[in-house]
Chain A
Amino acid sequence: MALLEMTNVVSFYGLIQVLRGVSLRVENGEIVCLLGSNGAGKSTTMKTILGIVRPREGAISFKGELIDRLPTSAVVSRGISTVPESRRIFPRLSVEENLEIGAYVRGVGLHRLRPQLDHVYSLFPRLKERRRQAGGTLSGGEQQMLAIGRALMVQPKLVLMDEPSMGLSPVLVDQIFEIIQSINQGGTSILLVEQNARMALSIAGRGYVMQTGRIVAEGTGQELLHSEEIRTAYLGE
């Protein structure tokens, strides 16, 4: 049984059909990447999984349970969290409050989040140093770490990451990808949306390519990296 399975999902954004029958799956412990040009429907796929955009047709199941009619809060509490596009840190909440908000659906008192906070701080010592600082005062790389740390606060089974390398310097991108791999080695599955296709495919077990709301190719990271069509269409060669 796949961890996450989308079957023929159709979604609209207002009157515009964005997803035209998307099927994909993420197995336990996998890193799966979702590639495609701007407007292909990658972010909408994520929002549909989260229940922010409701699918018109098709089914989404998580750990064997249908989740496509659940509110976002229920989806998140079942173990799917998000690292949103362009980070979306709460700029005037402190670093620690940003992390606490990540665990909002757990509903436990703030003091009981301590172990999880300590875990995130051990992954990102930088965040601990800055825990009293407003999120908006962090640098781009630190904000990305905060966004990832925030997503880990619910102890997710699956993290949806939307363009985590966007706007970061090459050194930071390498760092972020190392972090993603180490989170994955801890047993968390990752669905990675990336423009940086080469980088994403190098760490992903499998990948899907989207075009105008459809999956047009799928394969292992290596297969996609070496596929002639993908290279010309998405890797810019």
Chain B
Amino acid sequence: MSPTAFFQQLVNGLTLGGMYALVALGYTMVYGIIQLINFAHGEVFMVGAFLGLLALSFAAQLGLEGVAFTLCLAFLVSMVLTSLVGMAIEHVAYRPLRQSPRITLLLSAVGMSIFLQNLVMLIRSRDLQPFPRIITGGVNIQGVILDYIQILIAVASLVLMLALDLFVNRTRLGQAMRAIAQDMEAAQMMGIDISHVIRLTFMVGSGLAAAGGIMSGLYYGGIKFDMGFIVGIKAFSAAVLGGIGSIRGAMLGGFVLGLCETLLVAFLSAAGVTEAFAYKDVIAFAILILVLILKPSGLMGERIVEKV
């Protein structure tokens, strides 16, 4: 593989990794706080993409102009609405089961995932929905093409992750979130409103997934009701790779997974493997299996977890 091709794949991998990381954060935050693998989180990502599309169509109908403005609007509207969806999911599917065994919550999550997929399919369509490509073009740096959309995804995902990191580590609510993750009952004794913080965790995680959903729509040019499934599992793998429960781990895991996937496919392709692209999911799940066997606590995990 030529250096140009390598750098090109590096850029592509980082873009993909940014999206994975945004979705992985929701898995890891929810796991950290209530030890639940929220299998409906992939669908939250999908709902975020659809709400983004809705916002963009509305903006177009209202005749709003300016790419930056409509894009910010779409991100804002979708992230806010999706965080409300996340809040509703927690309220309906998980809160009543707070005292139940984890496996019950897990099944509830799977049910919620099926429900959301079918809901969007029924009210929208079962076909791929075109997503407006409002950002086109790019810059060519010595043969490596940086699409503007890739730059946007990289910058936006980094800004969101930085904001999250500051929120979790520098604010009282973030502190409360970490305290609950470490010892829920003790946190309650300190007077922290557990339900409030859990709700907030779902909202933040869902908002980030929504941003990932819009990015995915903009990048690939289309969205579909079942798009959350594979991205969900990939992001979950990224969260496990980084160490489930660890926020910085999920960020790292997302980027590492995106890069591995893209670069390994490129290497396979350069080595003459036909249809190397088809192997990209194999790579992600091979990584998941290897992590689970070799280092279940992940790259930045603080302990080996065995619940669920």
Distance in angstroms from A31 CB to nearest chain B CB is 20
Residues 184-202 of chain B, each 1 if its beta carbon lies under 8 Å from chain A, else 0: 0111111111000000000
Residues 91-114 of chain A, each 1 if its beta carbon lies under 8 Å from chain B, else 0: 111000100111011010110000
How many residue pairs bridge A and B at CB < 8 Å?
68
Interface residues of B in 185-241 (CB under 8 A from A): 185-193
* Interface residue tally for chain A (C-beta within 8 Å): 28
- Cβ of B193 and Cβ of A110 under 8 Å apart? no
- Cβ of B182 and Cβ of A93 under 8 Å apart? yes
Closest residue of chain A to B302 (Cβ to Cβ) is A92
- Cβ of A92 and Cβ of B182 under 8 Å apart? yes
- Cβ of B192 and Cβ of A50 under 8 Å apart? no
Q: Which residues of B contact A91 (CB under 8 A)?
A: 182-183
Q: Which residues of A contact B192 (CB under 8 A)?
A: 73, 101, 104-105
- Cβ of B189 and Cβ of A52 under 8 Å apart? yes
Task: Check if B172 is an interface residue, CB within 8 A of chain A.
Answer: yes
Q: Which residues of A contact B302 (CB under 8 A)?
A: 92
- Cβ of A97 and Cβ of B175 under 8 Å apart? yes
Q: Which residues of B contact A75 (CB under 8 A)?
A: 191
Among B185, B190, B193, the residue within 8 A (CB) of A101 is B190
Q: For the complex, give the distance between the alpha carbons of A109 and B175 in Å.
A: 12
Task: Check if A150 is an interface residue, CB within 8 A of chain B.
Answer: yes
Contacts known (A101-B175, A104-B176); A90 close to B191, Cβ less than 8 A: no
- Cβ of A100 and Cβ of B193 under 8 Å apart? no
Closest residue of chain A to B178 (Cβ to Cβ) is A93
Q: Which residues of A contact B185 (CB under 8 A)?
A: 52, 84, 88
Q: Which residues of B contact A84 (CB under 8 A)?
A: 185-186, 189
Q: Which residues of A contact B10 (CB under 8 A)?
A: none
- Cβ of B178 and Cβ of A90 under 8 Å apart? yes
- Cβ of A110 and Cβ of B191 under 8 Å apart? no
Distance in angstroms from A110 CB to nearest chain B CB is 7
Q: For the complex, give the distance between the alpha carbons of A222 and B193 in Å.
A: 41
Task: Check if B179 is an interface residue, CB within 8 A of chain A.
Answer: yes
Distance in angstroms from B243 CB to nearest chain A CB is 13
Which secondary structure dominates chain B's binding surface? helix
Residues 51-69 of chain A, each 1 if its beta carbon lies under 8 Å from chain B, else 0: 0100000000000000000
- Cβ of A150 and Cβ of B188 under 8 Å apart? no
Q: Which residues of A contact B189 (CB under 8 A)?
A: 50, 52, 72, 82, 84, 88
Closest residue of chain A to B176 (Cβ to Cβ) is A104
- Cβ of B172 and Cβ of A72 under 8 Å apart? no
Task: Check if A26 is an interface residue, CB within 8 A of chain B.
Answer: no
- Cβ of B186 and Cβ of A90 under 8 Å apart? yes
Contacts known (A88-B185, A92-B302); A76 close to B175, Cβ less than 8 A: no
Task: Check if A77 is an interface residue, CB within 8 A of chain B.
Answer: yes
Among A52, A71, A100, the residue within 8 A (CB) of B175 is A100
Q: For the complex, give the distance between the alpha carbons of A219 and B183 in Å.
A: 36
Distance in angstroms from B288 CB to nearest chain A CB is 25
Closest residue of chain A to B191 (Cβ to Cβ) is A76
Q: For the complex, give the distance between the alpha carbons of A77 and B192 in Å.
A: 10
Q: Which residues of B contact A109 (CB under 8 A)?
A: 172
Q: Which residues of A contact B190 (CB under 8 A)?
A: 76, 81-82, 101-102, 104-105, 150
Q: For the complex, give the distance between the alpha carbons of A99 and B190 in Å.
A: 10
Query: A72-B193, A90-B187, A91-B183 provided; 11 other pairs, C-beta below 8 A?
Result: A50-B189, A72-B191, A73-B192, A75-B191, A82-B189, A92-B302, A100-B175, A101-B175, A101-B192, A104-B191, A105-B191
- 26 intermolecular pairs with C-beta atoms under 8 Å apart: A52-B189, A71-B193, A72-B193, A73-B191, A73-B192, A75-B191, A77-B191, A81-B190, A81-B191, A84-B186, A84-B189, A88-B186, A88-B189, A89-B186, A90-B178, A90-B179, A92-B182, A92-B302, A93-B178, A93-B182, A97-B175, A104-B175, A104-B192, A107-B172, A150-B190, A154-B191
Smallest CB-CB A-B distances: 9 pairs: A76-B191, A88-B186, A105-B191, A73-B191, A82-B189, A90-B182, A90-B179, A101-B179, A73-B193
Interface residues of B (CB under 8 A from A): 172, 175-176, 178-179, 182-183, 185-193, 302
